[in-house]
Each structure stands twice: as C-alpha cells, then as structure tokens.
Amino acid sequence: MDIAVVGRNTEVPERFRQHLEEKLSKVEQFAPRAQRVEVELTHERNPRLADRSERVELTVLDRGPTVRAEASAGDRYAALDLATAKLLERLRRVRDRRKDHHGRRDTTPVDVPAPEPVVEEEAPELPTVPVAPTEPGVAVEAQLGDSPVVVRQKLHEATPMTVDQALYQMELVGHPFYLFIDEDTGQPCAVYHRHGWTYGVIRLNTVVAPAPAGES
C-alpha cells in the first residue's frame, strides 16, 4: 500500500512522516486490498483559526468505494488522530457491509505486511483561472486571481444508484452532500444532511440519457 503526502502551506518533518506511517498501518486491517492512501496536510495561516489551523485529509483508494476522512485541530498530531479514527470507523463499516452482502465473515488475516514507505509529494503551483478537470478522480485547483480563495474541482464517474446507496456513499466520504444519478428515474440528484438525523434529496427536472449499447 502506497502512502502519498502533500503539504500545503507547510512542510512535513521526518518525525511526523514516521508517525503518519505508523498510524496508517492499521488501514490494511480493515482494507487489505487498499492500493493507496492520499494524505493532505494544510496549515491555515489565519491567526483567528489557531485552534483548527492544522487540517489533515485522508483518502483511501481501494477496489471498492473511496473512503475519506478529515479533521482539524490546533496541533497536526491531534488532527491526525481525529482523522484516522474517523477513517478506520468508515473502513470498518465498509468491511461489515461486505460481510453482510456475502453472508459470511471476512477471513482476511489481521496480520498484514507493513505499508510501503511514505512518499512526500510537492504541491504544484496553482493556476489563477479555474479549468474543468478531464481526468476522473484527479483534483484540479486554482486560486482566484490574487485572492486567497482556492477552488477545487474533481471529475467523478456517475454510476447510477439508489438513494440508500447514495446516503451510504456520502457517509463514507464524510461530505454533507453527495451527487449521483438515480437508477430508477435517471435524474441527477443530491442527497444532503438536514437537522439531526434527517436527510434531503434534491432532484433536477431532467433525465440523463443512458450510454448507447456497447459503451460504458
């Protein structure tokens, strides 16, 4: 399992990289087929946000659904602990759902090989004009002129699914909403969190045409 680290407005010391590798070694206990974990560390320079100036985002790329978690704190070690706890809980839910789906327990041994060394990747210089992404799963960012505002875009494959499946996917990535195509109506939809434990669904009054026969 590869671990790729990107630091934004911050450097990643060797001591923290080693700690990060140790924490993420638990990922394979719940997702033995995980191919890559992407880690993004962001330092917020605004002094008013000192109590949550360190943000850690974790994304597990597996053969199944993408699982994501993030957390912020005044210390990056604390932020990593919070994000890792969320991530492992979501990975556990995916594993348990697979068990229920197949009607048998997962026999994958808990003893798994140690992860590959952490690879630190430099964050590219951001363009100043947003451009629509063309490669699925790859985020494209742009800074709006001279302002500190950064716009991130990502292209996703739109596999039709039910509302229940969309809610499940939303919980796995930790977002307050999730876009999808309703497999029953063909409408573009978005599920989102409301107050408490209630959810909402927004539907566009249009239908996405299915791909011609022989195309995926």
Q: Using H for helix, E for strand and C for coil, what is the string for 6-49?
A: EEECCCCCHHHHHHHHHHHCCHHHHCCCCCEEEEEEEECCCHHH
Q: Which of 41, 17, 16, 22 is nearest to 115 (CA)?
A: 22
Amino acid at 122: E
Report the range of poorest mean pLDDT among 42-56, 81-95, 102-116, 168-182.
102-116
Question: What per-residue confidence (pLDDT) applies to 103?
Answer: 52
Average of per-residue pLDDT across 188-204: 89
Nearest-angstrom CA–CA distance, 33 and 179: 26
How does the average pLDDT of the chain come out, rounded? 80
How many CB atoms sit inside 10 A of residue 53's CB?
21
pLDDT number for residue 188: 93
Q: Count CB neighbours of 195 within 10 A.
A: 6
140 to each of 61, 129, 148, 179, how far by Cα in Å?
18, 11, 16, 18
Mean pLDDT over residues 23-52, rounded? 86
* Maximum CA extent, the chain: 56
What pLDDT digit, counting tens, does each position of 70-128 carry?
999 999 999 999 999 999 988 888 888 777 655 544 444 434 344 444 444 445 566 66
Radius of gyration of the chain (CA): 19
- Indicate whether 195 pLDDT > 60: yes
Task: List residues bridging with 72 in a β-sheet.
Answer: 55
Overall average pLDDT of the 8-37 stretch: 88
- Is the pLDDT assigned to residue 154 strictly greater than 90? no
